[in-house]
């Protein structure tokens, strides 16, 4: 399928061409016609599958019709959990919409509110916002929703994880009832479906990959290491392999700072991003990382959410995440949009339980390596995943396991399947 066959106006087609996209991604193929039709949508797709263009392109097309935004009004509201993600979506909106006479802006906390109020005063066709700052602006009468046509919740599962449910409910209560709703999420948890009930009307549901599986173009492996040697192993890996751009995940803000210092001390350019860093410092670190001025970006899960860096070659799990689903999100940062990527986890004996949880969730055993010279004192026990038991079951009881025809052999247990609304 081509972008041309999706009925998008030429202004958008030429912008898409300038981005270098040759054809729509699977989620774009499915989502774009639904959004164009004005229907509500619930879409599940892994990170890096092109969800942003999946909703932005058809929304821009729809906005070309209808009345432009009046003072303080907003026609499309895109809510997203983090500042970085908000900035990134707005960048996409500007790129895709560069040939259209539409106004857009982005608002998030951690920076001055006054300039945001000034921009909103003129009215914007598209507003990208994080929930907290949007509510502040609403309370100060800087934004109005009388003209609101569409609400987009991007990374909705993340918003719930990050505790935005009350903010979201408050925002919903001040929006006009008649509107189009689009809900995007990497996965549809029970909580997401609960939220969706009070949000979308007769939504079209699209989904392009099974839940909790990791993208195929990502090579994953583990180094079995001593906890105390993780930092030196990471530095050695970076130097020995001459890695130029590595995103490293750590558990805590403190751990991020400590590791960054250690890398810098070994002459490896690095910066940390986490919630205690100022917005300026986070934006700067990300920008420097993107252009290759710093090699290593050390991030906590929350700070890294939704960050899109083109062709990120390496992701390192310095600590395994406590929530197994975060593993899937983390490694989704590499191998984006069809590029090859590597995910390397440094795992110590104490993390064995976390490793087992991840392997159970993704239904695959991650291959292990030992870094010569850094042999673990207490090696990891064997995983013994019961994947081999589950697989034959799939063929024998195909009626039960093919719940929605999307590779159910990868599913973990029936209570985790995607229900229908």
Range in contact with ligand ADP (rule: CB under 6 A) among 24-32, 118-126, 134-142, 196-204: 24-32
Q: At its nearest, how many Å lie between Mg ion and the CB of residue 273?
A: 17
Using CB under 6 A, pick the residue from 178, 242, 310, 367 that binds ligand ADP. Answer: 310
Q: Does 24 bind ligand ADP (CB under 6 A)?
A: yes
Q: Does 97 bind ligand ADP (CB under 6 A)?
A: no
Q: At its nearest, how many Å lie between ligand ADP and the CB of residue 84?
A: 11
Q: Does 214 bind ligand ADP (CB under 6 A)?
A: no
Using CB under 6 A, pick the residue from 41, 42, 43, 47 that binds ligand ADP. Answer: 47
Contacts with Mg ion in 42-101 (CB under 5 A)? 51
- Residue (125 or 308) nearer to ligand ADP, CB: 308
Q: Does 185 bind ligand ADP (CB under 6 A)?
A: no
Q: Does 341 bind ligand ADP (CB under 6 A)?
A: no
- Residue (91 or 136) nearer to Mg ion, CB: 91
Using CB under 6 A, pick the residue from 1, 265, 337, 400 that binds ligand ADP. Answer: 337
Contact 189, 160 (CB under 8 A): yes
Q: Does 209 bind ligand ADP (CB under 6 A)?
A: no
Give the Cβ contact number of residue 115 at 10 Å: 11
User: Of Mg ion, ligand ADP, none, which one sits near residue 138, judging by CB under 5 to 8 A according to partner kind?
Assistant: none
Q: Does 106 bind ligand ADP (CB under 6 A)?
A: no
Q: Does 1 bind ligand ADP (CB under 6 A)?
A: no
User: Of ligand ADP, Mg ion, none, which one sits near residue 200, judging by CB under 5 to 8 A according to partner kind?
Assistant: none
Q: At its nearest, how many Å lie between ligand ADP and the CB of residue 220?
A: 19
Using CB under 6 A, pick the residue from 30, 40, 43, 48 that binds ligand ADP. Answer: 48
Counting other chains too, the contacts that 64-69 makes at CB distance below 8 Å and 24 or more residues apart are 64/9, 64/11, 64/100, 64/102, 66/149, 67/147, 68/102, 68/103, 68/123, 68/125, 69/103, 69/123, 69/124, 69/125, 69/147
| x/- letters, 138..157, toward Mg ion (CB under 5 A) | --------------------
- Residue of 13, 19, 100 whose CA lies nearest to 310: 19
| # of chain residues touching ligand ADP (CB under 6 A) | 16
Q: At its nearest, how many Å lie between Mg ion and the CB of residue 127?
A: 17
Q: Does 52 bind ligand ADP (CB under 6 A)?
A: yes
Q: At its nearest, how many Å lie between ligand ADP and the CB of residue 28?
A: 6
Q: Does 226 bind ligand ADP (CB under 6 A)?
A: no
Range in contact with ligand ADP (rule: CB under 6 A) among 21-29, 61-69, 228-236, 290-298: 21-29
d(CA 49, CA 214): 12
Q: Does 336 bind ligand ADP (CB under 6 A)?
A: yes
Residues found near Mg ion in the complex (CB under 5 A): 51
């Amino acid at each position: 399928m081509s972008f041309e066959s999706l009925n998008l106006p030429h202004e958008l087609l030429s912008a898409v061409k300038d981005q270098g996209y040759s054809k729509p991604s699977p989620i774009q193929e499915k989502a774009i016609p639904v959004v164009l039709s004005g229907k509500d949508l619930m879409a599940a797709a892994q990170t890096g599958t092109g969800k942003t263009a999946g909703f932005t392109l058809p929304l821009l097309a729809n906005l070309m019709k209808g009345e432009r935004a009046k003072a303080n009004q907003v026609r499309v509201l895109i809510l997203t959990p983090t500042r970085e993600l908000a900035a990134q979506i707005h960048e996409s909106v500007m790129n895709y919409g560069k040939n259209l006479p539409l106004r857009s802006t982005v608002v998030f906390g951690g920076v001055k509110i006054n300039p945001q109020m000034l921009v909103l005063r003129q009215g914007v066709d598209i507003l990208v916002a994080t929930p907290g700052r949007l509510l502040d602006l609403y309370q100060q009468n800087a934004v109005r929703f009388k003209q609101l046509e569409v609400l987009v919740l991007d990374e909705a599962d993340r918003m719930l994880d990050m505790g935005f449910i009350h903010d979201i409910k408050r925002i919903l209560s001040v929006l006009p009832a008649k509107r189009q709703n689009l809900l995007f999420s990497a996965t549809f948890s029970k909580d997401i479906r609960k939220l969706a009930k009070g949000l979308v009307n007769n939504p079209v549901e699209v989904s392009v990959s099974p839940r909790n599986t990791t993208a195929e173009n990502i090579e994953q492996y583990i180094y079995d290491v001593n906890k105390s040697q993780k930092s030196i192993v990471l530095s050695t890996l970076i130097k020995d392999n001459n890695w130029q751009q590595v995103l490293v995940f750590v558990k805590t803000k403190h751990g991020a700072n400590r590791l960054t210092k250690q890398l810098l001390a070994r002459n490896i350019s690095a910066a940390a991003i986490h919630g205690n860093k100022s917005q300026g410092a986070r934006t700067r670190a990300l920008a420097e990382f993107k252009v290759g001025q710093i090699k290593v970006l050390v991030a906590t899960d929350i700070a890294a959410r939704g960050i899109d860096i083109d062709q990120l070659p390496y992701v390192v799990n310095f600590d395994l995440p406590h929530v197994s689903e975060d593993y899937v999100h983390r490694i989704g940062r590499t191998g984006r949009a069809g590029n090859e990527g590597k995910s390397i986890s440094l795992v110590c004996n104490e993390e064995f339980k976390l490793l087992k949880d991840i392997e159970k969730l993704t239904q695959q055993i991650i291959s292990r390596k030992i870094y010569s010279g850094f042999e673990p004192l207490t090696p990891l026990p064997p995983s013994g995943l019961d994947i081999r038991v589950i697989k034959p079951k799939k063929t024998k009881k195909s009626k039960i396991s093919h719940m929605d025809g999307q590779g159910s052999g990868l599913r973990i247990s029936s209570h985790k399947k995607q229900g229908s609304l």
